[in-house]
Amino acid sequence: MRFIALSSALAFALLSRPVLACSVCGCDPTGGNLGLDRPAESEMRLSIEDRYLAKESGAGDEREGEKEDRLNLRVQYSPPIPRLSLQLDVPIYTWKAHYGATGVNDDTNQGLSDVSLTARYELLHFGGWTHVVSLLGTVKAPTGPNNHIAVGIDEPGIPDEHKQLGTGTWDETLGVSYTYGDFPTVAYASVSARVNGTNSRGNHFGNAIFADVGVRRTVLESKRLYFSLDAQGRNAGKDTTPDRVYDENSGGFVGYAVGTVGFAFTENLLARFVLQVPVVKQLNGVQEEHPVYFLALAYDMPAFGRK
């Protein structure tokens, strides 16, 4: 069965120095905001976000690096079904550059990555809407190409897994979130687990557990500006290569400090900037985490039929 699962609480991005590869190729646990924010019933939210990151892993002849800029087109919708919200994410790489052992760029790719669908169901309410417990689920489909070969660089017929726009796998995440709302302050927490599939070549990115705790505060008399701070953690297993052995330079634990600032230009248009900094690192082998930055715009469409 394919479950639909997570997008933890609002807050996402990274800052630090260049990062070494992790088991989360092309995916960030804080990339979605459905765990905390969602449109009102029968309304739709459209958003676009831009993410930049850099990462490296391995040493000597096995060293490789990556720099990328990825746009994510997101549609959120709350159907006329009480407590249910849906989210569709369509990531598109504007460019994804790979660097070999010598640090020279040996491949640049662009295009559609893996599309994902998330569902959020508000299971329990306490004190009106003050306390909300929600179940979250995400399924990621292998829509991005996974057989790209850099001509003249890669061994003929053997694609490099880290040069692909998609993982070639179906992946599922399940999680639970809690939100405490006492305007102008909101506190939230979530935990989730992601199970990755194995692609046709036998490559498997390590399964992972994510956790997030944060608080958001709205300021100004207009209530249009807010700040949030989060503590996030990711613990991932080692990747398995097509040779059926573990990649020793993958997986491990990373703890992040995350800061977000959001500003509503109108009642329907919100801009948000997020910075995520790895502050605790217990990674396997040779890895190093760098800063990741997110910039997003979100627009809420009125309920269908409403003028």
d(Cα 305, Cα 307) in Å, to the nearest integer?
6
Could you state, in order of their start, the residue ranges of all structural domains in the chain? 44-301
Tell whether domain 44-301 is in CATH 2.40.128.130. yes
Check if the beta carbon of residue 223 is closer than 8 Å to that of residue 216: no
Residue 99 β-bridge partners: 65, 105
Torsion sign, CA atoms 13, 172, 26, 102: positive
Torsion sign, CA atoms 251, 179, 141, 89: negative
Torsion sign, CA atoms 109, 110, 111, 113: positive
Supply 103's token pair.
């640090």
pLDDT computed for residue 142 by the predictor: 97
d(Cα 179, Cα 57) in Å, to the nearest integer?
36
Which tens digits make up the pLDDT trace of 174-227? Answer: 999 999 988 889 999 999 999 999 999 999 999 999 999 999 999 988 888 999
pLDDT computed for residue 36 by the predictor: 56
pLDDT computed for residue 200 by the predictor: 93
d(Cα 25, Cα 239) in Å, to the nearest integer?
11
Which tens digits make up the pLDDT trace of 279-292? Answer: 999 999 988 888 88
> 3-state SS of 121-150?
EEEEEECCCCEEEEEEEEEECCCCCCCCCC
Q: Which of 29, 53, 25, 5 is nearest to 205 (CA)?
A: 25
The share of the chain scoring above pLDDT 90, in percent, equals 55
Which tens digits make up the pLDDT trace of 2-11? Answer: 333 333 332 3
